[in-house]
Amino acid sequence: MKKKVVFLTGAGMSVESGFKTFRGNDGLWENYPVEQVASHEGWEAAPTLVTNFYNMLRRKLWQAEPCEGHRLIAGMEDAFDVTVVTQNVDNLHEKAGSTHVIHLHGELAKVCSSRNPYDERCIETLTPRHSDVVPGTKAADGSLLRPFIVFFGESVPMLNAAIDEAEKADIFVIIGTSLNVYPAAGLVQYAPADCPVYLIDPDAVSGGNLRSVTHIRKGASAGMRELLTLIKP
């Protein structure tokens, strides 16, 4: 039976692909205040602005390519049982070939009902040829079609699925997200007590976590290359 490796990836995973995620220190996402384009209140106040913002972001997404780190994770599926839990809304893990990806914060390539975002009958997957949503377009239930993104202040419906995977991990790897920030700090605690934990991040990380962690102080791609020398199927 293959060892189970669970990855938790955040903003630092996509940096090498040139794709910005929205949790920046300055509170801006592509020069827009986060509360304007990534909150329920922002959507309610200006759905046209928010729809056009995600149209713009989606066009950037289609041009982004997975980095070597994304591809190395996907390649591990030959020897390991791999689950990727990502805080990123891009589809770069899937583009690299990963087959089991849990998106905690939604997916930029999809749109959904604004009445019930997780109503599968109303979730639509967009493509580079059919990428833009005309503001005012309705979902199948008659509500406005909105980005399939977990806005600030909304619950994270996929968190329980991520916890289920963490509980089964033989190896837990965190890339590009802080150990002190939810959900990373919480999710790693669900891994079994004897499960080794690796953190790939070029920056120094302060303590606060409840278990020992092997810190690889490199970016996503260089860090993944080193990780593969440390773990065995």
**Active site residues per annotation:** 105
Q: Token pair of 110, please?
A: 């999809």
Q: Which amino acid is at 187?
A: L
Burial status of residue 229 (CB atoms within 10 A of its CB: 0-12, 13-18, 19 or more): exposed
Cα–Cα distance between 166 and 162 in angstroms, integer? 6
Q: Token pair of 111, please?
A: 């749109």
Cα–Cα distance between 60 and 41 in angstroms, integer? 25
Cα–Cα distance between 86 and 199 in angstroms, integer? 14
Tell me which residue of 119, 111, 90, 99 sits closest to 16, measured CA to CA: 90
